[in-house]
Chain A
Amino acid sequence: MFDAKKIRKDFPALQKKVHGKPLAFLDSAASSQRPTQVLDAMRAYFEEYNANVHRGIYEYSEMATQKYEGARRKIAKFINSPSEKEIIFTKNCTEAINLVSNSWGRSNIHKGDTILLSQMEHHSNLVPWQMLAKEKSARLEFIPLGDDFKLDLHEYEKLLHRHSPKIVSFTGVSNVLGTITPAKQIVKMAHDSGAVAMVDGAQSVPHLPTDVQQLGADFLAFSGHKMLGPTGIGVLHGKAEILNSMPPFLGGGDMIKNVEFREATYADIPYKFEAGTPPIAEVIGLGAAVDYLHKLGMQHVREHEKKLVRYALEKFDGLSGITLYGTRDLSSRGGVFSFNLKGIHPHDLASILDQEGVAIRAGHLCAQPLVQKLGAVATARASFYVYTLEEEIDQLALGFQKAQKAFGV
């Protein structure tokens, strides 16, 4: 039985008070909290077998390597990857996308080629492609957002025919709108038109069951710190065939087979893409986070968030002066709420809510073009996760009323 109240007990940072009020942490879409299980796993590495991986011929290093590679296997299993060789560790989701835009992109995108993105991308799945397009004189096109806050698949079909893009890269869940994209369908349409497909899973992998074999994408990128793991660790999943065909991204130790003064032969995947000493404790921490999520069951995580979204929609509908962005179709809606209160700038709202112990995000949410498209300068955002309670949504709504009172609106 999924019990968020019980789950919360595993999260030390959620036990604290902020400005004398119980903390309602509603910014997990930016970074989640971490349970003691994750902290303990990382601490055990530092205290019990701290050493570099893949090198030392001694007990600690062998243990570190075993735990590090064990985490890779856990993560592979978590997203149903056919092989752990397809799991590449990066610094974060952003670096995973940059790996693809640099390695695959620079050798496959040429002058006049089209890169197809969507209008609801986070800057991390936009700016790397802008940089590549600039360098290669390639073209950027965007799957438009419909009035229903979903991607317009008819227009997508047309864009595929018109431009025959080399790659389609899009988000699994919008970090602004919470829209869950029909990723499997978008990937299939991309493949049918001969394009490579990449999914930015930063907001989807932490919240939805993920099966890369069903999804079929060539690449899936995600971050550890948004799914109960530590910062400094991200993952790129790529199909072995395409990863094998790509040149390395960063050069250095650990990514080679043999090095001479003037040339080197590179290691096989995944090591070809993991130059230098990796974030060992962070990988082990992410392994523990994946264990934690697996134990909860991702289907249950999804159901819990769906319940919270339903509750929040009902609650917010009763409030005056609120503009909600995003679909009301619960089946395509994750636990992310962007909104504005009439007459109150989101930054002011966030400051007042902070005094009530409520942590939300305010600003352009790292998706400036999308926020502008919504007709806003900035928005406020509340986001939910495994430990979020309905009571916290009540606390948020109460904070709205305090802000409205303070501003006389």
Chain B
Amino acid sequence: MSMSFDLYREIILDHYKNPRNKGTLKAPDAKWRENNPLCGDVLEMQLKISKDKKLEDIKFSGDGCAISLSSASILTEMVKGKPLDEILKIDKKKLLGELGIDPGPSRIKCALLSLKVLKMAVYSYLGKEIDRETKDL
């Protein structure tokens, strides 16, 4: 099996063509927007957060490649309903594991953009200092 087949495996193409949680929220409690400086792609996430600091709802919007958009779609499914402190513990290894791909050095930014946007939204909501790994994503 060649890598391109791997990179564009069914789960990626499925989420790209039928994105989950795509759109915007009426009154989000937090949101964040980032560009992928490599290609000018844009990704925004909007979060609805409950009183006990759980992620009630999440939507993403933006323009991008199959890797970045399917990663956003898959990530929103992973985190919906989860407590914020648990979301902050998700690292790149975990997300790449869910995507099931090894994007290689030229596409890794595409795959991890969603995680950066999500974590930045959570950090901005909590007013917490951003950890090194998130900054470097």
A252 CB, nearest partner CB in chain B, Å: 33
User: At the interface, yes or no: B107 with Cβ under 8 Å from chain A?
Assistant: yes
B30 contacts chain A at the CB level, 8 A cutoff: no
Q: Does A57 have its Cβ within 8 Å of any Cβ on chain B?
A: no
Among candidates B17, B38, B67, residue contacting A363 with C-beta atoms closer than 8 Å = B38
Nearest residue, chain B, Cβ from A343? B17
Chain A interface, number of residues (Cβ within 8 angstroms): 21
Q: Kindly supply a per-residue 1/0 record for chain A positions 354-374, scoring 1 wherever the CB is within 8 Å of any chain B CB and 0 otherwise.
A: 111000001110001001000
Asked if B67 and A347 make an inter-chain contact with CB atoms under 8 angstroms apart, the answer reads yes
Which residue of A351, A356, A407 has the most chain B CB atoms within 10 A of its CB atom?
Answer: A351
CB < 8 Å: which of A348, A371, A377, A378 contacts B8?
A348
Check if B39 sits within 8 Å of A378, measured CB to CB.
Answer: yes
Q: From A351, A362, A408, give the contact of B4 (CB < 8 A).
A: A351
Whole-angstrom distance between the Cβ of B15 and the nearest chain A Cβ:
13
> Does A188 reach chain B (CB closer than 8 Å)?
no
B34 within 8 A of A: no
Of the residues A348, A356, A364, A406, contact of B65 by C-beta under 8 Å: A348
Q: Which B residue's beta carbon lies closest to that of A377?
A: B63
Whether A348 touches B3, Cβ cut-off 8 Å, given contacts A362-B39, A364-B40, is no
- Beta-carbon contact of A351 and B39 below 8 Å: no
Say whether, besides A351-B4, A355-B3, A408-B13, A345 and B40 are in contact (CB < 8 Å). no
Q: Name the B residues within 8 Å of A206 (CB-CB).
A: none
Q: How far is the CA of A174 from the CA of B105 in the complex (A)?
A: 29
CB <8 Å contact, A378 and B40:
yes
Q: What per-residue 1/0 map shows which CB atoms of B2-21 lie under 8 Å from chain A?
A: 11110110000100010000
Residues of chain A within 8 A of B39, CB atoms compared: 346-347, 362-364, 377-378
Let me know if A352 is at the binding interface, CB within 8 A: yes
> Contacts A346-B65, A408-B13 given; 16 further ones with Cβ under 8 A?
A344-B66, A345-B66, A347-B39, A348-B67, A351-B67, A355-B3, A362-B39, A363-B39, A363-B40, A364-B39, A364-B40, A377-B41, A377-B63, A378-B41, A406-B5, A406-B8
11 contacts between A and B (CB under 8 A): A344-B66, A348-B8, A351-B4, A351-B8, A351-B67, A351-B107, A354-B4, A355-B2, A363-B39, A364-B39, A378-B41
The 4 closest A-B CB pairs, nearest first, are A355-B4, A345-B65, A347-B65, A363-B39
Which residues in A have some Cβ–Cβ distance to B below 8 Å? Answer: 19, 344-348, 351-352, 354-356, 362-364, 368, 371, 377-378, 406-408
